Amino acid sequence: DAEVVFVGRSNVGKSTLMRELTGHSFETGGKPGVTRQPNHFDWASEDFMLTDLPGFGFMSGVEEDRRERIKTDIVEYIEENAERVLVGVLVVDGKSVIDIIDRHSGEDEIPHDVEMFYFLREVGIPVVVAVNKMDKVDDEDERLNDLCDRLGLHPPWKQWQDTIAPISAKRGNIDALNEAVKTHLHEQKRDDL
Ligand code: GDP
Protein backbone atom coordinates (compact mmCIF):
# COMPACT_ATOMS: atom_id res chain seq x y z
CA ASP A 1 0.00 0.00 0.00
CA ALA A 2 1.18 3.48 -0.85
CA GLU A 3 1.78 5.52 2.23
CA VAL A 4 2.23 9.13 3.39
CA VAL A 5 4.09 9.51 6.69
CA PHE A 6 3.70 12.35 9.19
CA VAL A 7 6.54 13.34 11.49
CA GLY A 8 7.07 16.29 13.81
CA ARG A 9 8.14 17.44 17.21
CA SER A 10 5.60 16.89 19.91
CA ASN A 11 3.07 19.69 20.36
CA VAL A 12 3.29 21.06 16.81
CA GLY A 13 -0.34 20.09 16.24
CA LYS A 14 0.19 16.79 14.43
CA SER A 15 -2.78 15.08 16.11
CA THR A 16 -5.00 18.03 15.31
CA LEU A 17 -3.90 17.81 11.69
CA MET A 18 -4.43 14.04 11.50
CA ARG A 19 -7.93 14.49 12.85
CA GLU A 20 -8.62 17.14 10.25
CA LEU A 21 -7.38 14.87 7.45
CA THR A 22 -8.98 11.60 8.48
CA GLY A 23 -12.02 12.54 10.51
CA HIS A 24 -10.83 10.16 13.20
CA SER A 25 -10.51 11.49 16.69
CA PHE A 26 -7.00 11.65 18.01
CA GLU A 27 -5.87 12.36 21.47
CA THR A 28 -4.63 15.92 21.28
CA GLY A 29 -2.57 17.55 23.94
CA GLY A 30 -2.11 14.03 25.30
CA LYS A 31 0.76 12.86 27.41
CA PRO A 32 3.84 13.18 25.21
CA GLY A 33 6.20 10.31 24.63
CA VAL A 34 3.57 7.68 25.30
CA THR A 35 2.53 6.78 21.75
CA ARG A 36 5.50 4.96 20.33
CA GLN A 37 3.85 2.87 17.65
CA PRO A 38 3.07 4.11 14.16
CA ASN A 39 -0.67 4.62 13.64
CA HIS A 40 -2.17 3.87 10.24
CA PHE A 41 -5.25 5.48 8.72
CA ASP A 42 -6.97 5.74 5.37
CA TRP A 43 -6.93 9.15 3.79
CA ALA A 44 -10.61 9.62 3.08
CA SER A 45 -10.30 11.31 -0.31
CA GLU A 46 -7.31 9.41 -1.65
CA ASP A 47 -6.28 5.86 -2.22
CA PHE A 48 -3.46 5.50 0.24
CA MET A 49 -2.57 5.21 3.87
CA LEU A 50 -1.57 7.92 6.32
CA THR A 51 0.93 6.96 8.98
CA ASP A 52 1.20 9.03 12.12
CA LEU A 53 4.66 8.55 13.64
CA PRO A 54 5.35 9.47 17.26
CA GLY A 55 6.32 13.04 18.14
CA PHE A 56 10.04 13.61 18.68
CA GLY A 57 12.24 16.20 20.37
CA PHE A 58 11.86 17.77 23.75
CA MET A 59 8.94 16.60 25.86
CA SER A 60 8.65 17.65 29.45
CA GLY A 61 8.79 14.69 31.78
CA VAL A 62 10.29 12.37 29.18
CA GLU A 63 13.84 11.32 29.72
CA GLU A 64 16.63 11.86 27.22
CA ASP A 65 17.25 8.19 26.44
CA ARG A 66 13.57 7.59 25.80
CA ARG A 67 13.47 10.58 23.46
CA GLU A 68 16.48 9.24 21.58
CA ARG A 69 14.83 5.83 21.33
CA ILE A 70 11.68 7.40 19.85
CA LYS A 71 13.74 9.15 17.21
CA THR A 72 15.67 6.00 16.36
CA ASP A 73 12.39 4.11 15.96
CA ILE A 74 11.06 6.77 13.60
CA VAL A 75 14.19 6.68 11.46
CA GLU A 76 14.14 2.88 11.34
CA TYR A 77 10.48 2.78 10.38
CA ILE A 78 11.07 5.21 7.52
CA GLU A 79 14.17 3.40 6.29
CA GLU A 80 12.37 0.06 6.30
CA ASN A 81 9.34 1.41 4.48
CA ALA A 82 10.97 4.02 2.24
CA GLU A 83 10.04 2.20 -0.91
CA ARG A 84 6.31 2.59 -0.47
CA VAL A 85 6.38 5.98 1.25
CA LEU A 86 5.32 8.45 -1.42
CA VAL A 87 5.55 11.65 0.63
CA GLY A 88 6.90 12.61 4.04
CA VAL A 89 5.04 15.41 5.80
CA LEU A 90 7.19 17.20 8.36
CA VAL A 91 4.88 19.17 10.64
CA VAL A 92 6.38 22.22 12.35
CA ASP A 93 4.98 25.00 14.52
CA GLY A 94 5.18 28.15 12.41
CA LYS A 95 5.24 30.34 15.47
CA SER A 96 8.33 28.80 17.07
CA VAL A 97 10.18 26.79 14.41
CA ILE A 98 12.76 29.45 13.48
CA ASP A 99 13.67 30.14 17.11
CA ILE A 100 14.00 26.43 17.84
CA ILE A 101 16.13 25.77 14.77
CA ASP A 102 18.41 28.72 15.53
CA ARG A 103 18.77 27.75 19.18
CA HIS A 104 19.91 24.27 18.20
CA SER A 105 22.19 25.16 15.32
CA GLY A 106 25.82 24.86 16.21
CA GLU A 107 29.13 23.37 15.23
CA ASP A 108 28.18 19.84 16.10
CA GLU A 109 24.45 20.16 16.48
CA ILE A 110 21.77 19.83 13.81
CA PRO A 111 18.22 20.76 14.86
CA HIS A 112 15.81 17.79 14.78
CA ASP A 113 13.55 19.38 12.18
CA VAL A 114 16.39 20.13 9.80
CA GLU A 115 17.85 16.68 10.33
CA MET A 116 14.51 15.02 9.60
CA PHE A 117 14.05 17.14 6.46
CA TYR A 118 17.41 16.04 5.06
CA PHE A 119 17.00 12.46 6.20
CA LEU A 120 13.72 12.05 4.31
CA ARG A 121 15.22 13.52 1.17
CA GLU A 122 18.29 11.33 1.50
CA VAL A 123 16.19 8.17 1.47
CA GLY A 124 14.40 9.44 -1.61
CA ILE A 125 11.15 10.60 -0.06
CA PRO A 126 9.80 13.98 -1.23
CA VAL A 127 9.11 16.19 1.78
CA VAL A 128 6.28 18.61 2.40
CA VAL A 129 6.80 20.85 5.41
CA ALA A 130 3.38 21.56 6.94
CA VAL A 131 3.96 24.87 8.68
CA ASN A 132 1.17 24.76 11.23
CA LYS A 133 -0.34 27.37 13.58
CA MET A 134 -0.03 30.08 10.94
CA ASP A 135 -3.07 31.71 12.57
CA LYS A 136 -0.59 32.84 15.23
CA VAL A 137 1.92 34.31 12.77
CA ASP A 138 1.67 37.93 11.59
CA ASP A 139 4.61 38.22 9.21
CA GLU A 140 3.76 35.14 7.17
CA ASP A 141 6.03 35.76 4.14
CA GLU A 142 9.02 36.70 6.25
CA ARG A 143 8.58 33.67 8.48
CA LEU A 144 8.27 31.28 5.56
CA ASN A 145 11.26 32.82 3.78
CA ASP A 146 13.30 32.35 6.95
CA LEU A 147 12.22 28.74 7.10
CA CYS A 148 13.30 28.18 3.49
CA ASP A 149 16.65 29.69 4.35
CA ARG A 150 17.12 27.35 7.33
CA LEU A 151 16.26 24.33 5.18
CA GLY A 152 18.66 25.30 2.42
CA LEU A 153 15.92 26.28 -0.03
CA HIS A 154 16.39 29.60 -1.79
CA PRO A 155 13.71 32.11 -0.82
CA PRO A 156 11.17 33.34 -1.75
CA TRP A 157 9.04 30.56 -0.32
CA LYS A 158 6.41 31.05 -3.02
CA GLN A 159 8.78 29.19 -5.34
CA TRP A 160 8.51 26.18 -3.05
CA GLN A 161 4.78 25.70 -2.72
CA ASP A 162 5.17 21.98 -3.36
CA THR A 163 7.46 21.84 -0.31
CA ILE A 164 6.34 24.58 2.07
CA ALA A 165 2.67 24.44 3.04
CA PRO A 166 1.41 27.05 5.52
CA ILE A 167 -1.64 25.72 7.36
CA SER A 168 -3.77 26.10 10.44
CA ALA A 169 -4.95 22.65 11.44
CA LYS A 170 -7.02 23.99 14.28
CA ARG A 171 -9.00 26.21 11.92
CA GLY A 172 -9.30 23.48 9.32
CA ASN A 173 -7.21 25.52 6.94
CA ILE A 174 -5.15 22.83 5.25
CA ASP A 175 -5.61 23.38 1.52
CA ALA A 176 -1.95 24.22 0.95
CA LEU A 177 -0.94 20.86 2.39
CA ASN A 178 -3.46 18.90 0.34
CA GLU A 179 -2.27 20.65 -2.81
CA ALA A 180 1.42 20.09 -2.09
CA VAL A 181 0.95 16.41 -1.26
CA LYS A 182 -1.14 15.84 -4.38
CA THR A 183 1.54 17.44 -6.54
CA HIS A 184 4.04 14.82 -5.40
CA LEU A 185 1.59 11.94 -5.72
CA HIS A 186 0.76 12.86 -9.28
CA GLU A 187 4.40 13.34 -10.18
CA GLN A 188 5.13 9.84 -8.98
CA LYS A 189 2.18 8.39 -10.84
CA ARG A 190 3.52 9.99 -14.01
CA ASP A 191 6.95 8.53 -13.32
CA ASP A 192 5.39 5.10 -13.07
CA LEU A 193 3.78 5.26 -16.49
P1 GDP B 1 0.85 17.07 18.73
O2 GDP B 1 1.58 16.83 20.01
O3 GDP B 1 1.79 17.48 17.65
O4 GDP B 1 -0.03 15.95 18.31
O5 GDP B 1 -0.05 18.37 18.96
P6 GDP B 1 -1.62 18.52 19.26
O7 GDP B 1 -2.42 18.23 18.05
O8 GDP B 1 -1.94 17.79 20.51
O9 GDP B 1 -1.70 20.10 19.49
C10 GDP B 1 -0.90 20.75 20.45
C11 GDP B 1 -1.54 22.08 20.80
O12 GDP B 1 -1.49 22.95 19.66
C13 GDP B 1 -3.02 21.95 21.16
O14 GDP B 1 -3.27 22.86 22.20
C15 GDP B 1 -3.73 22.35 19.89
O16 GDP B 1 -5.01 22.89 20.12
C17 GDP B 1 -2.79 23.42 19.35
N18 GDP B 1 -2.91 23.58 17.89
C19 GDP B 1 -2.92 22.61 16.95
N20 GDP B 1 -3.04 23.13 15.72
C21 GDP B 1 -3.12 24.48 15.88
C22 GDP B 1 -3.26 25.57 14.96
O23 GDP B 1 -3.36 25.44 13.74
N24 GDP B 1 -3.27 26.83 15.52
C25 GDP B 1 -3.17 27.04 16.85
N26 GDP B 1 -3.19 28.29 17.28
N27 GDP B 1 -3.03 26.03 17.73
C28 GDP B 1 -3.02 24.77 17.25
Instruction: For ligand 1, pick from 16, 20, 74, 171 the residue to mutate: most ligand atoms within 8 Å of CB.
Output: 16
Question: Can you tell me the ipTM of this complex?
Answer: 0.99
Range of the domain at 115: 3-192
CB of 126 closer than 8 Å to CB of 43: no
Ligand 1 neighbours (beta carbon < 6 A): 8, 10-16, 28-29, 55, 132-133, 135-136, 168-170
- For residue 57, the CA-to-ligand 1 centroid distance in Å is 16
Residue 172: exposure state from Cβ atoms within 10 A (0-12, 13-18, ≥19) = exposed
Q: What is the pLDDT along the chain (193 residues), one digit of tens a residue?
A: 789 999 999 999 999 999 999 887 766 555 656 566 788 888 766 678 999 999 988 788 888 899 899 999 999 999 999 999 999 999 999 999 999 999 999 988 999 999 999 999 999 999 999 999 999 999 999 999 999 999 999 999 999 999 999 999 999 999 999 999 999 988 876 666 5
Residue 160: exposure state from Cβ atoms within 10 A (0-12, 13-18, ≥19) = buried
Strands of 43-96, DSSP E:
49-52, 85-93
Query: How many domains does one find in the chain?
Result: 1
**What pTM was estimated for this model as a whole?**
0.94
* CATH number for position 111: 3.40.50.300
